[in-house]
Amino acid sequence: MAAGRTPSATAASFPPPPPCFDYRAAVLADTRAAAVAAGNPALAALVESGALVRVPRRRFGPVPAWRPPDFVEPEEVWILGTSHLSPDSVADVERVLRAVQPDNVVVELCRSRAGIMYVSTDASDEPLLKSNMFSLGGAKFFGAVNRSINLGGQSALALRLLLAVFSSKVSSGANRPFGEEFRAARKVSEDIGAQLVLGDRPIEITLERAWKSLTWDQKTKLVISLFRGITSTTDTPQEEKTAVSPYELYQKLSTSYPSLLQPLIHERDMFLAWSLKRSKAVNKSKTVVGVVGKGHMNGIVYALISDQGDLRFRDLVGRASSDTWVSSLIKGLVRDTIIGLVLWALYEQLQALL
C-alpha cells in the first residue's frame, strides 16, 4: 500500500465539522421526505429523534478526478445512530434494515473487531473482556495479536491491551453484552440478502496514530493514568457503575489529551464516510445503511456532504514517520518490544483478577 500523508496533513486537507454544524438540520428535509414516502411511522419517529438520517447522492461532494471511471457512488446513504449497550438500538437496527432493504450494511467495526458480531449472548459465564471493543479474545487470538503488531506496532498493541482492561473495569456494571446492535445487523443482513461491510478503520492503525500524536510526557502520563485506573482498589457502589462506550472513552481521553481527538474521532468519522460512499464494496449500490455510534453521526454527515475529493483511503490509513528507517528500526525494537512485553504480562495478570 502506498504511503499516505501524515495525520497533520490529512487534518489540514479535510478539517472536522465546525462548531456550528448540525447534521440533523443539514439533511432533515431529505430524510423526512424519504421517511414519509416509505410510509413507515417507526422510521419517521427515528428521524425526528435524530437517530436516523438520509443523505442522497446529489448531496455528496463533487466527484474526484482520481476516482475510477467505472465507480458509481450509492444513490442514497442512510445512517442509524446507536448506543452500543442499549436494547432499543437492537430493535432500531432490525426495524430500519427491514424497512429500507439496503444493498449494503456498513457497520462501525474493523476486521479485528468483527468477532463481536458472532459473540453468543447466551454465554453469561464468558469473561467480560471478550465482549470489549478493544480486547483480543476469540478463537484466532494469536492471529489477532500478529495483525495488531503488523498494522500498529508493539506500542499500539500495548495501548490496546491497556484500554481493553481499563474499559472492562469501568464498564463492569453493564448488564448487557457489548455490541448487540452489530449482531442484529449481521443477522438481518443475512435474512434480507444485504452485503455486510466492515466500515471502521483498523483499530491498530487508529491507536498507532493516536500514540504518535502524543509527546513523550503525554505518553507517560497516559500510561500511568490507565495503570492507576486498572489497579485502583476503590470500591465503587454497584449502582454507580455505568457502561462506557468506546466513543465516550475516546472523548474523555481527548479532553485530557486534545491531540487524540483527531486520530480517535475525526479521522474515523472520515473513514466511515469513505466506507459508506466510496469503498469498493458499495460501488453501484442503490441503498447503503450505516450502523454507527450516535457520537459519529455529526462528523460522518459533514464528511459526506462537504467532501471535495479529499476522502481517500491512503490518507486515512497512512503511517507517518519522520525518522530514517535505521533509527525507526532501532527505536521500534528497543522501545516497542519492551513496552509490549511488559504490558502483555500485566494484561495476563489483570485478566485473572477482573
**pLDDT of 297 higher than 80:** yes
Percent of the chain with pLDDT over 90: 35
Span 260-286, average pLDDT? 92
Q: What is the pLDDT confidence band of residue 133, given thresholds at 50, 70 and 90?
A: low
Span 43-67, average pLDDT? 89
**pLDDT of 6 higher than 50:** no
Question: Which pLDDT value is given to residue 14?
Answer: 67
Region of poorest pLDDT, from 101-105, 195-199, 255-259, 264-268: 255-259
Span 41-56, average pLDDT? 92
Question: Which pLDDT value is given to residue 116?
Answer: 82
Q: Which residue has the higher pLDDT, 209 or 189?
A: 189
Span 336-347, average pLDDT? 58
Cα distance between residue 213 and residue 186, in whole Å: 34
Cα distance between residue 290 and residue 52, in whole Å: 10
Q: What is the pLDDT of residues 84-122, one digit of tens each?
A: 777 889 999 999 999 999 999 999 998 888 888 887 655
Question: Which pLDDT value is given to residue 194?
Answer: 97
Cα distance between residue 278 and residue 177, in whole Å: 32
Q: What is the pTM of this model?
A: 0.79
Q: What is the pLDDT confidence band of residue 309, given thresholds at 50, 70 and 90?
A: confident
**pLDDT of 341 higher than 60:** no
Q: What angle do CA 251, 85, 168 make, to 5 degrees?
A: 65
DSSP lists the bridge partners of residue 78 as 54, 289
Cα distance between residue 133 and residue 164, in whole Å: 7
**pLDDT of 10 higher than 90:** no
**pLDDT of 143 higher than 60:** no
Cell of residue 204, nine digits: 491498530
What's the mean per-residue pLDDT of the chain?
Answer: 76
**pLDDT of 325 higher than 60:** no
Q: What is the pLDDT confidence band of residue 148, given thresholds at 50, 70 and 90?
A: low
Question: Which pLDDT value is given to residue 283?
Answer: 94
**pLDDT of 170 higher than 70:** no
Question: Which pLDDT value is given to residue 138?
Answer: 45
